[in-house]
Structure 1
Amino acid sequence: MSESNQNTLLMKTLNWAAIAFLVYLVLVAVGSVSGGFKLASGGTQGAQEIFAFATNPFVALLLGALATALVQSSSTVTSVIVGLVAGGLPLSIAIPMVMGANIGTTITNTLVSIGHIRSKEEFQRAFAASTVHDFFNLLAVAIFLPLEIMFGLLQKMSASLSHLFVGDADLSLKSYNFIKPLVKPAVGLIKDAFSFLDTKMLGVAMVLAGIGLILFAVTALGKLLKKALVGKAKNILHGAIGRGPIAGITSGAAMTVMVQSSSTTTSLMIPLAGSGVFTTRQIYPFTLGANIGTTITALLAATSITGPMAEVALTIALVHVMFNVFAVALIYGTPVLREIPITLAEKLAKVGANNKSAALGYVLGSFFIVPGLIMLAVR
């Protein structure tokens, strides 16, 4: 083997080792958030008091959307939510927050479309391809949040599934959990680092440290995975979009699982739409697949939770999965509903192309100003 090949192999090995380490950091971070939240809140009762302002599901929804828009990563926010649920955050609050995270994550590819703003035609195509994701997620929430509030379907189905894995059965995954002994020492180090604080402040410090670790790990993980897989991902993208909706959804989900970032997946499509290689209608199914693929991070985070709250942590992760799968099946599977996001995106893109300030106002208003003001008003 030549020296250049050896160096290439070494770099690939180091890259994948770094990826494995960052996955471990995500698990540690979620454990830190969970443990810290328990200390800070004094258990489930304290958690309910802390989140009393968000007992309105609509406020919880906006909180999830705003948090995700600010950090530009639904993977980060849903991982934090899993940790908070394990620490006592009620599922009735967590479920709308997860739905909100789906809305907030679409800002990244909308911002990418702004890069085409110098050309009216390119910007109109790119803006339509990016905002179709916004309108799909808004429609999904408009359908499933009222159903969840009235009947609790997602929570009940997810709770039943999670019980199969971490319930009382002797053959459940709980019996074979190897995550806790791997994560516990690192979480202990974080706790020891702030041991000079009183109990509540120690809990707050652990939560903040965990969130910081999640932000760092998820961001770095996305970059390393993109470096390792972006060539293959681009090939999947070009090869799948033109093959029909099933291939588009499947490849969008697979690619997002690989890079653990729906923002990365959907952002890759925007320049292709702007240049006219693909239409909004062709890219639409790929975007929906990205919605499904991004749920892998919350599932991964849930595996770090053990003990009495393991089942409820897995429940919220499965809610994320079911919400996205059912939304794709219902909305894309129903011709009338399927056309709504495309129609609205194309109309908004036409307005935005003719009035650039309106496009900027849409981004700032929809993701930051309106959610923030409504939350303040409701509180």
Structure 2
Amino acid sequence: MSSSVIDFVATEARFGAHNYAPIGVVLSRGQGVWVWDTDGNRYLDCLSAYSAVSQGHCHPKILAAMVEQAHRLTLTSRAFHNDQLALFYEEIAALTGSHKVLPMNSGAEAVESAVKSVRKWGYEVKGVPDGQAEIIVCANNFHGRTLGIVGFSTDPETRTHFGPFAPGFRIIPFGDAAALEEAMTPNTVAFLVEPIQGEAGVIIPPAGYFAKVRELCTANNVMLVLDEIQTGLGRTGKLLAEQHEGIEADVTLLGKALSGGFYPVSAVLSNNDVLGTLRPGQHGSTFGGNPLACAVARAAVRVLVEEGMIENAARQGARFLEGLKDIRANTIREVRGRGLMLAVELHPEAGRARRYCEALQSKGILAKDTHEHTIRIAPPLVITSDQVDWALERLATTLTQDFS
């Protein structure tokens, strides 16, 4: 690392909480699928800020919408109406087929809002005895890092020494419909699940799993809550990942790409029953639904659709997946993915995935490891065929590299 990079990293270490372990690069600029470090080196971004920059870095139309709105009005709080919120509601509802929208800021806020809402629905509509509502979740889930959420995580790193935790959650294996059926009781109000477990290593459930999940939730009057914060808005080659199995969730959580990386925006989308139980004063957010956020989100969703990014994700994702599967390397245990949400899982004896990500950095690719032995690959949805092929050449060289 150059002296300037070392200075930035050292200053972070001196003043910042050590709750991240970043790859050793300091980024200063981005455009499309590319980012540049402080020394002027260019990299293909294969993380997209955990899918938040799906539309590409600094998309000019989203930037223009943000600047225009910032000149007009940024924040009113929900104490007053603003001229962007209703338009955001109307457009996101029309796009997703939702009936009600609750705007928030971060993905974790959307999850917490959904937990509160389905519990309230359970007590006031389903008739669950007060204080007895249960929500079923999956092992190896990742729904955020708030205290409420880490309480139902199975990852020791996220839980240790943060308790005590709130009750009311039952944990089952992911992809096991029989386990879901067995876990349901009259007090079950919701099943909260990711369509694809991203942080766990891009774990894709068996075909037909979500069709059966939908059937079970309907039969037992349980709200199906799909956390599409990473998978939603085109990442998997469909607008929503639920569309791969032709189902509809009762509650859908969006975030990350909802703002194209410009501003924290999230939303809870639902049918009337769930969000319809909320009354003034019972839930809210000072910044949730602010005019700047709504203007940015409207532009981010518009370019996603108008510029064919969802269809491109399907095409380039298939090309990328096929190319990864063609790499003949003894290090690779499994390649999996859907759309541009991809992963290469390494054999444990190949060593930690972190060192492969560091080797990729030296070849101009930024990717991120997860769960020690998995490399996640999730470039912006604007990536081209030539860029996919360029990345595959470097991935092949790295994955066949001898680190001994």
More helix by share: 1
With normalisation by structure 2, the TM-score equals 0.28
Q: Which has the higher contact order (CA 8 A, sep 6+)?
A: 1
With normalisation by structure 1, the TM-score equals 0.29
More strand by share: 2
